[in-house]
Amino acid sequence: MKLPTVFWVFVILLLTAAGQARAQATYNRWEARPVAMPQIRFTKAQQDSIRRAAYWQKNPSLKRGIGSRIRNRQLLPEDQPYFDFVGRSVRYPAAALRAQTEGEVWMQLAVDATGRVVKVTLLTTTIAPGAGGEAEIVQQTREILQHLRFEPAAAATQEEARISFGIR
């Protein structure tokens, strides 16, 4: 039995339409893979700059005159970042810990107009002279206070700061 030509034309059109639909479906399918981010290579100076910026963003600037407010026990709420910073930064020197050395160290800070500490000098200490670990405590105090940042001012100023070392 011979099928009419109209039937074959219909079958060909149907197969062609199905093929086009299949092709259209695969064409519209999203098969993209995530593109890997290009590796950015920073120089040592750029890495240091990025690290420094992150450090200063984490540590807010201090209000000037904190030393006199500490001496007079007239602290402001804005002084809390100083105590937070010192609390995070102090590491009791091993020699001082072995000798059970305790005390306060007062330093004078030369702060430039931008708020950076440019010079740290020892004012006074309550640690007995020659006590075990005294030099390490003074050195650590100097290093910690060197990293403070104050609010900008019209001119350079002299500030005082204290760090207490105690064993509990």
- The arrangement of strands across the sheet holding 103-111 comes to 117-125, 103-111, 157-165
pLDDT of residue 53: 75
For residues 52, 54, 59, 65, the Cα torsion angle rounded to the nearest 10 degrees is 40
Extract the runs of DSSP E, i.e. beta strands, from the chain. Answer: 103-111, 117-125, 157-165
d(CA 101, CA 104): 10
Residue 27's pLDDT is 53
Q: What is the pLDDT of residue 1?
A: 56
pLDDT (0 to 100) of residue 25: 52
Residue 19, pLDDT score = 55
List, run by run, the mean pLDDT of 10-residue segments along the chain (168 residues): 69 63 54 75 85 71 87 88 86 89 93 91 90 90 90 90 86
Full-model pTM: 0.64
